C-alpha cells in the first residue's frame, strides 16, 4: 500500500510537471495562455463558504492564498489521477509501463474540467460559454493528452529505479 502511495505521488508530480512544461511552451512560445491556478484556489476557498458554482470565477471575490492553494490542488489532482493506472493495472505496469493505460487516464481526465471545473467557473459544460468553445475544448484535450504522456514518461523513468 505504501509503495502505491509513493509511486502515485512521484508519478503524479512528474506527469503534472510535464503538463506544466507544455503550458509554458504554449504561453511563451505561442502566446497561448493557460488556466490561472489562482481561480482553482479561489473556487476551493469559496466552497468552504458554501459557494460551489460561479457565474464568473474571475469576478468572484479574490481570497487570501488562492494562488498557492490552486497550485497545491492542481498537483494533488495530478497525483490522484496517477493512482489510477498504478492501481488498475498493478505492479506489472509499474515495472514495465506501456502507453495505453497512461494515455487512457490522461484523456479520460478531461471529464474533470469539462463537467466539473468549467461549469463551476461559469464557463459552461465543456467550455460552452467561452468565446471559442471548440478551441478551448481542443486545448483541454491536448493538454490532458500531454498529461497522459507525462504519466507514461514518468512511469518509464520510475521503472528504471
pLDDT, tens digit (0-9, with 9 covering 90-100), for 59-116: 999 999 999 999 999 999 999 999 998 888 888 899 999 999 999 999 999 999 999 9
pLDDT score of 1 more than 80: no
- Tell me the mean pLDDT in the region 12-20: 98
What cell numbers appear for 58 in the block? 474571475
Burial label for 143, CB within 10 Å (0-12, 13-18, 19+), is buried
Which residues have a Cβ under 8 Å from the Cβ of 101 and sit 6 or more positions away? Answer: 84, 85, 88, 89, 93
pLDDT score recorded for residue 4: 87
User: What is d(CA 155, CA 161) in angstroms, rounded to the nearest whole number?
Assistant: 10
pLDDT at 145: 98
Residue 44 CB coordination number (10 Å):
15
Contact in structure between 106 and 151 (CB atoms under 8 Å): yes
* Mean pLDDT value across residues 141-161: 96
Q: Which domain holds residue 85?
A: 2-159
The answer to whether the CB of 42 falls within 8 A of the CB of 57 is yes
Q: How many domains does the chain have?
A: 1
Give dist(CA 21, CA 146) in Å, integer. Answer: 10
| pLDDT for residue 136 | 95
Entry pTM: 0.94
Give the residue among 9, 16, 11 at the shortest CA–CA distance from 37: 16
Amino acid at each position: 500500500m505504501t509503495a502505491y502511495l509513493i509511486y502515485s505521488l512521484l508519478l503524479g508530480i512528474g506527469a503534472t510537471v510535464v503538463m506544466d512544461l507544455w503550458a509554458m511552451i504554449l504561453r511563451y512560445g505561442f502566446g497561448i495562455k493557460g488556466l490561472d491556478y489562482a481561480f482553482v484556489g479561489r473556487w476551493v476557498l469559496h466552497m468552504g463558504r458554501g459557494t460551489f458554482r460561479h457565474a464568473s470565477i474571475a469576478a468572484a471575490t479574490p481570497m487570501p492564498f488562492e494562488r498557492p492553494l490552486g497550485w497545491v490542488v492542481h498537483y494533488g489532482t495530478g497525483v490522484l489521477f496517477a493512482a489510477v493506472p498504478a492501481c488498475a493495472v498493478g505492479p506489472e505496469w509499474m515495472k514495465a509501463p506501456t502507453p495505453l493505460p497512461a494515455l487512457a487516464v490522461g484523456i479520460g481526465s478531461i471529464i474533470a474540467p469539462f463537467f466539473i471545473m468549467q461549469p463551476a467557473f461559469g464557463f459552461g459544460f465543456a467550455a460552452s460559454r467561452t468565446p471559442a468553445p471548440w478551441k478551448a475544448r481542443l486545448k483541454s484535450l491536448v493538454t490532458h493528452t500531454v498529461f497522459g504522456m507525462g504519466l507514461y514518461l514518468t512511469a518509464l523513468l520510475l521503472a528504471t529505479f
